[in-house]
Homo-oligomer: A and B are copies of this chain.
Amino acid sequence: MKVGVFDSGIGGLTVVKSLLQHQLFEEIIYFGDTARVPYGSKDKNTIIRYGIEAVEFFKNFKLDMLIVACNTVSAYALSEMQEAANCPVIGVVEAGVLATQNALTNKNANILIIGTNATINSQAYEKGLKDLDFQNLQAKATPLFVPLVEEEIFDGAIVKESFKHYFQKLTHPDALILGCTHFPLLASSLQNYFGQETQLIHSGDAIVEYLEKTFDFQTKYTNPSLQFFASENPDALRLIAKRWLDV
């Protein structure tokens, strides 16, 4: 199977990492819209337009499946992209909601969703979780986390003060949904801040869990073909991919 992975920038590589670890695909084609990143501060219509443009880009490749790694795009543009595409289009939000359900037995568990402004404003995670009868939800936009990760600041005083800034008035969560592909890189600091009893839900792992439940993967591909595209400076993206994915 040939899969496309779309993200606004480089964050979706954390999803590719999970796909590689589970050896699900023969061919992975990644496209990051690095010339227009980030999407998280942009508005709904712009995000939908960019999502449909990404579908058009992937039509060059006759995909079997397209994964939307970006939470912001998944939250706002998934149905429009599904309509425009001629293959299944799967978003991380949907997968994250189901992964949360699998991780929690108690419907009264307190779930904290963090993401970009756009993702949090969309209330996409809340809608999905409420449909599954989770009621005890908190959502918090944490836009500083993206630039922190992009500067490779994963711990230390600024990170700690940012956590305090965003979280100190919230109820302690039983589960934390990392609603942005950048956030797994802060996972260890977040786990320290909230304590070991808080379960972290990671988009990449959630997608794999979702795919394995939904589709019938009969072969493991230990050496898949990988291609990386970007709307600007694809060489920079390829270098980062090499480093993050060890490929």
> Which residues does A use to contact B, with CB under 8 Å?
34-38, 41-43, 45-46, 143-144, 146-148, 150-151, 153, 156-158, 161-162, 164-165, 232-233, 236
Residue of B nearest to A34 (CB): B42
A43: which B residues are within 8 A, CB to CB? 232-233, 236
Listed by A's residue number, 14 A-B pairs whose Cβ atoms lie within 8 Å are A35-B42, A36-B36, A41-B150, A42-B232, A43-B232, A43-B236, A46-B232, A143-B151, A144-B144, A144-B148, A144-B158, A147-B147, A157-B165, A158-B158
Contact present for A150 and B143 (CB under 8 Å)? yes
Query: Beyond A35-B42, A42-B35, A232-B43, is A161–B157 a contact (Cβ under 8 Å)?
Result: yes
A150 to B36, CA, bound (A): 17
A158 to B162, CA, bound (A): 6
A207 to B36, CA, bound (A): 28
Chain A to chain B: the 8 pairs with minimum beta-carbon distance, closest first: A157-B161, A46-B232, A158-B161, A43-B233, A147-B147, A36-B36, A35-B46, A161-B161
What is the total number of copies of this protein in its complex?
A: 2
In this complex, the member of A37, A42, A146, A148 whose beta carbon has the largest number of chain B beta carbons within 10 angstroms is: A42
Contact present for B147 and A143 (CB under 8 Å)? yes
A45 to B165, CA, bound (A): 37
A69 to B92, CA, bound (A): 38
A147: which B residues are within 8 A, CB to CB? 143-144, 146-147
A204 vs chain B, min Cβ distance (A):
23
A79 to B104, CA, bound (A): 58
Contact present for B35 and A232 (CB under 8 Å)? no
Residue of B nearest to A159 (CB): B161
Residue of B nearest to A235 (CB): B43
A164 to B160, CA, bound (A): 14
A37 to B43, CA, bound (A): 12
Contact present for A45 and B144 (CB under 8 Å)? no
A140 to B247, CA, bound (A): 32
A91 vs chain B, min Cβ distance (A):
22
Residue of B nearest to A35 (CB): B46
A72 to B146, CA, bound (A): 20
A146: which B residues are within 8 A, CB to CB? 147
A158 to B37, CA, bound (A): 24
A120 vs chain B, min Cβ distance (A):
13
A161: which B residues are within 8 A, CB to CB? 157-158, 161
